[in-house]
Structure 1
Amino acid sequence: MEMEYEVVPEFAPQKALWMQWPTTAIKDGVRESDFIPAFIEIERACCDQGEIHNLVLGKQAEKDAKNAIIDAGIQIDNIFFHIMPYDSCWSRDNGPIFVRKNGIEHILDFGFNSWGYEPWGPFERDDEIPQLIAKLLDIGITKVQYIEQTNEVRDFIYEGGTLELSGEGTIVASWAICKHRNPRLDRKQAAEILRNVTGSHTVIWIDSIFRNTTPAKADNHTDGYMKFYEMNRVCVLDSKPDEPGEEAASKLENEGWDIYHLPPDFRWTLVNCLIFNRKVVAGYVDYPMTDLEREIMEDLFPDKKIVEIEIGPMVKGGGGIHCVTQQQPK
């Protein structure tokens, strides 16, 4: 039987949320442990919407995480802990991407190399997480790979935070990042692989990057400037000409999409929100949503409760709420 893959969009019903509890790592002067207050608030916001599965590094880490959540007054009936080895807390990028294969729950395992930025390593344990979760859940897994002209098999290196899946067959992805992570892979071959493992019909490549950035790290991840927030609906953060937001909006419009344009001063941490069933969890730095930002969020998600969480340390570390969470569909 021919393998048929199907993606489930983030705005569809979700069974569970997966996170990697912050480690003791310090990268670029930022301590992951400083993210713990934000993680606790994510758990508080989401534990009534589905299961929450936290990866922890050992028995003491499990005890500390569990106590921190309980001490915050959160019921843990729906919160679970799994001891696994990993290197960082950015589960969106290294973790499993849940899909369906021939109608059955399945995991896609892209390779992970610490965002193509050696100082943010090590990454080898992060790279193994999809395999470990597939084994834990006893479900199938596809390691996404390609064959070079020399017939050598290589992992397709890519991060979940720069892969936007519409649910109707459109993908938006960063070619600048893909090429940086996979220098031997050409555009046509990469698009074919993405279509095959997601059951999609269209791959929209974003070639540009933001000014004063490089394809390394996560500055140009798509989840910082756009989101498919409902079936056949997409919002894009307006950016300067020749930057990713402008390019994404233009290319989506050329494919027939009606764009909800977010104003340039709309904060990227809100675009980087987590949709989890009846809740939307959005991060902020320094001050909560302005009246205009809240009005826009309520317009985007009229049937959901919007929860705000302060994520200053997380942003200093290079990401937001979407970056540290991964949904598992029902």
Structure 2
Amino acid sequence: MKTESSHHMSGTAFAAFDKNLSPAALGYTFPAEFAPHKATWLSWPHKEASWPGKISSIYPSYAAFIKYIAMGEEVHIHVGDQVMQDFATQHLKQAQVNMENVYFHFFPTNDAWCRDHGPAFLTNPHAEHRKALVKWNYNAWGGKYPPYDLDNLIPLKIAEYRQIPYFKPDIIMEGGSIEVNGKGTLLTTEACLLNPNRNPHLSKTDIETYLQEYYGVSNVLWLKDGIIGDDTDGHVDDLTRFVNEDTVVTMITEDKADENYKPLKDNLKLLQKMRLENGKQLNIIELPMPGEIIYEDMRLPASYANFYISNHAVIVPTFHDPKDEKAIDILTDCFKDREVVGVDSLDLIWGLGSFHCLSQQEPL
């Protein structure tokens, strides 16, 4: 376990690229999550309002999540101060986390959702700087949960710490709204990226161009709506995920009375018509939707698709539901090279997100 300060470190790489140069033009791409990682970045949960009345109950699951990641890669955790670091350390030690792989940074945040406020790490093995990042703008899913000024600074702090250059497109984009196969195809949803609370000045074509230029993809596939209860306006990471270059898992429910029945069915039909960057059809594996989880009269966005792929393990949210085991079995078949583990997410999901929403991978 190490604490890393946020002061400027020696080197010259930490600088914005020329505005006129895009990552794609310079040969950078955004690797798939199943490609090898150097690290996972997290923002320690501390905002009571994200888990009203329940925040103290989320830490055992959050620490178990970190335990599995730290078995195979570095874990970098943003904390506000020494008090928060000590509190986090206590929980991680209780969970028997390998603290040799844990690094703390005094990078204060407003909230915990590092998938969305963290950077997009890009790679180009032939460039002078093998790694770069995209510093998107972040507005807490359309200005829903101010303040978010500290969260919006996180990518620049990471670029400075890692001494890697960055791109700054100056539009709103969240990591949970896109999914890539690492070979040129990106999946997203109209419900989120075309929502007027993000980039009202941009057309669908404009947004597609940004996706191609800044994630280094050639093939953008659009799904429609997200799941009920998802306050991000329909992030793809609750819906459909790549498990390898040509295979997705996608959420489905057989229960016609479930509000998710039609949007998930429509989603599946769209996936069946889609083609990868090489013209091939997607292999589609169906994942069952857990039963409704209602808390304080609110349907929560519980989804097995919000798993996180780390070097050692695939960490799957579970919900005390009979379908938990089936989902883990399906994902175990998808990931022969990794341990697939279920970690209790019943309290975490009260924050309206789970393991994927909380994490951001840094490729090798």
* TM-score class, shorter: 0.7 to 0.9
Please report how far the alpha carbon of residue 252 of structure 1 lies from its aligned counterpart in structure 2 after TM superposition. Answer: 5.5
CA distance 1:279–1:174, change in 2 (3 Å): same
Opposite residue 78 of structure 1, the aligned amino acid is N
1:273 aligns with 2:323: no
- Does the 8 Å CA contact 2:67/2:97 hold for their aligned counterparts? yes
1:250 aligns with 2:270: yes
Aligned ranges 1:13-28 → 2 under 5 Å? 13-27=36-50
Residue 203 of structure 2 corresponds to: 186
- Does the 8 Å CA contact 1:51/1:78 hold for their aligned counterparts? yes
More strand by share: 1
Aligned ranges 1:233-312 → 2 under 5 Å? 233-238=247-252, 243=263, 246-247=266-267, 249-251=269-271, 253-255=273-275, 256-265=281-290, 269-287=303-321, 290-312=324-346
Secondary structure of the 1:54 match is strand
CA distance 1:76–1:127, change in 2 (3 Å): same
Cα distance per residue 1:263-319 (max 9 Å; x no partner): 445895321111111311111122476443332122111222112211222101100
Please report how far the alpha carbon of residue 196 of structure 1 lies from its aligned counterpart in structure 2 after TM superposition. Answer: 0.8
CA distance 1:249–1:320, change in 2 (3 Å): farther
Opposite residue 124 of structure 1, the aligned amino acid is D
Cα distance per residue 1:5-27 (max 9 Å; x no partner): 21110011111111101114313
Residue 17 of structure 2 corresponds to: none
Opposite residue 122 of structure 1, the aligned amino acid is P
Aligned alpha-carbon RMSD (Å): 2.4
- Whole-Å Cα distance in 1 between the matches of residues 177 and 161 of structure 2? 26
Unaligned regions of 5+ residues in structure 2, if any? 1-20, 254-259, 276-280, 293-301
- Whole-Å Cα distance in 1 between the matches of residues 208 and 62 of structure 2? 34
The match for 2:350 among 312, 316, 325 is: 316
Count of paired positions: 316
1:43 aligns with 2:58: no
Range moving further from structure 2, 172-181 or 244-253: 244-253
CA distance 1:304–1:283, change in 2 (3 Å): same
Q: After the TM superposition, list the runs of 4 or more consecutive aligned residues in structure 1 that deviate by more than 6 angstroms.
A: none
> TM-score normalised to the size of structure 1?
0.88
The match for 2:134 among 99, 108, 113 is: 108
- Whole-Å Cα distance in 2 between the matches of residues 58 and 171 of structure 1? 37
CA distance 1:58–1:169, change in 2 (3 Å): same
Please report how far the alpha carbon of residue 117 of structure 1 lies from its aligned counterpart in structure 2 after TM superposition. Answer: 4.0
- Whole-Å Cα distance in 2 between the matches of residues 43 and 260 of structure 1? 27
Range moving further from structure 2, 160-169 or 200-209: 200-209
- Whole-Å Cα distance in 2 between the matches of residues 219 and 193 of structure 1? 19
- Does the 8 Å CA contact 2:60/2:95 hold for their aligned counterparts? no
Opposite residue 115 of structure 1, the aligned amino acid is W
Residue 150 of structure 1 corresponds to: none
- Does the 8 Å CA contact 2:223/2:270 hold for their aligned counterparts? no
> TM-score normalised to the size of structure 2?
0.80
Please report how far the alpha carbon of residue 328 of structure 1 lies from its aligned counterpart in structure 2 after TM superposition. Answer: 0.7
CA distance 1:74–1:295, change in 2 (3 Å): closer
1:59 aligns with 2:73: no
- Whole-Å Cα distance in 1 between the matches of residues 48 and 157 of structure 2? 21
Residue 197 of structure 1 corresponds to: 214
Secondary structure of the 1:127 match is helix
Please report how far the alpha carbon of residue 41 of structure 1 lies from its aligned counterpart in structure 2 after TM superposition. Answer: 0.5
- Whole-Å Cα distance in 1 between the matches of residues 310 and 322 of structure 2? 20
Opposite residue 237 of structure 1, the aligned amino acid is M
Please report how far the alpha carbon of residue 50 of structure 1 lies from its aligned counterpart in structure 2 after TM superposition. Answer: 0.5
Please report how far the alpha carbon of residue 230 of structure 1 lies from its aligned counterpart in structure 2 after TM superposition. Answer: 1.1
Please report how far the alpha carbon of residue 76 of structure 1 lies from its aligned counterpart in structure 2 after TM superposition. Answer: 0.6
The match for 1:95 among 103, 106, 118 is: 118
Identity of aligned residues (%): 26
Range moving further from structure 2, 181-190 or 63-72: 63-72
Unaligned regions of 5+ residues in structure 1, if any? 145-154
Opposite residue 21 of structure 1, the aligned amino acid is W
Residue 278 of structure 2 corresponds to: none
Secondary structure of the 1:19 match is strand
- Whole-Å Cα distance in 2 between the matches of residues 141 and 217 of structure 1? 29
Opposite residue 3 of structure 1, the aligned amino acid is L
Residue 152 of structure 1 corresponds to: none
- Whole-Å Cα distance in 2 between the matches of residues 90 and 65 of structure 1? 16
Opposite residue 179 of structure 2, the aligned amino acid is E
Opposite residue 163 of structure 1, the aligned amino acid is I
- Whole-Å Cα distance in 1 between the matches of residues 103 and 51 of structure 2? 30
